[in-house]
Structure 1
């Protein structure tokens, strides 16, 4: 009998230790330190993708580091495709959200401008993207693009109106032109060249850093809303 009592006592102590260890793991898993990072999908074109830059200097990588510096643990998913139009974004938004998303950035329209796409077509495509995000209950920050004047004032007015009107219709957050931070605080638009690559279209690493600094507060608002 003493031997059986010793064996029973050993088993009981082992079970108690296992239970305590399991409880500790569950407690840690429930703590903020063990929470999975928020998943932020950045749907866009070459500006999002990081054209011409090493991966660590691209928009999504710099944004993820900036958010970390603000104390936010966020995985920024690079869903940018170089050359993509709003039509391309529309065709793959379901794929971009397939693995789940807590929030999404939408930065599309630059290539529509380069190709002179009818603003009504761009509007329909962006509307479909925002509709899909709403169906999946993914909050969105819509980042505007501004039309140049070479297509005439009517085209420019029609295109520039797309973003605020869709943001209001869908009840999503709106940020100013993606490239606006490159001229903010400068004497004239010519200073923007200092933050562009040699092609004159895509930001260099320093330009991306300025863009992230400019957009960062709006992104913070988005992810804090998503985390509620």
Structure 2
């Protein structure tokens, strides 16, 4: 285990679905693994825990929250909701689940980074726009850091996505890790350098 990933250092938990788990790439190519590398290279002493579960929904993330909180994370990156939308779940349910996740994390004095997602337009304009607006609304209402779109610069780019057109390749995850790192740096304590 690299020195900065040692169990004694503050934890950053990446709570999410297959995009966090790194479906289709080796574990060391997932964005949480790449984020760990970037933190180490920048001299930050944090341990990144990948709590991504392929196929997970906001309800699943909420059910796993007690487990996440047991690790006493300083920061949790919440990347959930895409599977809700792809299954046509009501937008209100997705919002409520994310709201409860954020509320419980904040009650535990954990900083939240909310990763926004987008879905294909074939779900209808109202649903698509409503889904995207959930993340902006929650970030504004709860004053949490927002990554407007986790897959910015990666989505719909053939060389950066696997054959399914949804999950990034190793090269795509490098860009995702850069995006997350950019959002994370302002939250990192200077004494954790």
Match of 2:185 in 1: 220
CA contact (8 A) 1:106 1:142 kept: yes
SS at 2:159 equivalent: helix
Match of 1:95 in 2: 67
Higher relative contact order (CA 8 A, sep 6+): 2
**Greater helix content:** 1
Match of 2:158 in 1: 193
Match of 2:154 in 1: 182
Task: Find out whether 1:142 has 2:114 as its counterpart.
Answer: yes
Alignment partners' CA distance in 2, 1:111 and 1:118: 12
Residues 164-192 of structure 1: CA distance to partner in whole angstroms, max 9, x if unpaired?
11111111111121111316xxxxx4xx1
Match of 1:46 in 2: 18
CA contact (8 A) 2:7 2:47 kept: no
CA contact (8 A) 1:105 1:142 kept: yes
CA contact (8 A) 2:86 2:119 kept: no
Match of 1:126 in 2: 98
What 5-or-longer segments of structure 1 have no aligned partner? 1-33, 184-188
TM-score by structure 2 length? 0.91
* 1:107 aligned residue (66, 71, 79): 79
Taking a change above 3 Å as real, the CA distance of residues 57 and 35 of structure 1, as seen in their structure-2 partners, is closer
Taking a change above 3 Å as real, the CA distance of residues 42 and 35 of structure 1, as seen in their structure-2 partners, is closer
Taking a change above 3 Å as real, the CA distance of residues 137 and 199 of structure 1, as seen in their structure-2 partners, is same
Name the larger-Rg structure: 1
Task: Find out whether 1:205 has 2:177 as its counterpart.
Answer: no
CA contact (8 A) 1:104 1:141 kept: yes
Alignment partners' CA distance in 1, 2:67 and 2:32: 18
Match of 1:8 in 2: none
TM-score by structure 1 length? 0.77
Query: Post-superposition shift, 1:35?
Result: 10
Number of residue pairs matched by the alignment: 187
What 5-or-longer segments of structure 2 have no aligned partner? 1-5
